[in-house]
A and B are shown apart, each in its own frame.
Chain A
């Protein structure tokens, strides 16, 4: 990270939010956690009675179809939703964070941290520069610097994977080969923030182990490279080796994008 980036980590960012369909109890908890958390983090939380806010918190009192029409009625505001519900929802338009009821302070605080993180990502004016070998000034694993390899140690729960429709494939990739954040972003062709969020969620739930650059060499080797007997070199058919074969299999099966 450059000096400028580090500075932006410590700048206070404003996040406007509102709450709809929450029980009184949940609303009280939300506001008190925010006021507690607000003193630790670097976010200026601003409650507004309006939908045109950065974050909409949706409570258990609203039915999904009511939520959808509510969101459709918005004329502005950001794409972040924190939804308190039993089943997670996914959306192409919104980034939906999820808390299972009954609401607890700890899980709420975790999600708020994530909100801050995503808001910072949105506000950053320059692309993330390669991390130097020095440890980041703000020490936390959630940034997943260049030399951190993430290894999947257990297949994640369907709930975690349901948060984003690409998470399934990303997990399958990660299971086959430990990766850095950059590698995942490149291989999955997903935005960095999505990959970062994915890693964060996995890390918090205990599905991964993090390896530093020294271990990185070892892990790359143990990423189960295809053995010498891979079919490609026996008869690679129309050429292009195994990569070509996998592409042809996708086409043959009728996947829309090979």
Chain B
């Protein structure tokens, strides 16, 4: 994900990759494994999206919810990056956790050089965040190599 000002030229990288079928299939599989591993964790939805908010793979209550979560996590990620940069604690956020009275939304950056993506998971209050983060990191590492 690029956090840019007009000073630096953002166009120094390769042309953006479209999400191809191979990536989609692998992402679906990896996501499915992840959700199954955490079957007792009260996961309501889990989505892998492109950094500009399109779904790549989703395990969700409905398709509409998957799409919404993709777009939302894209914006939140971008603002997370901005916050980190503005405050000076780094260049990119790694994860963001939103806690509400009924659960969590957990967002993690997938810095795949070919296709930047975002993992977002919505859970009930039962979720054990530490465990969730641990498996999410593993999953993200796999996704980076896809």
Complex A–B touching at CB under 8 A: no
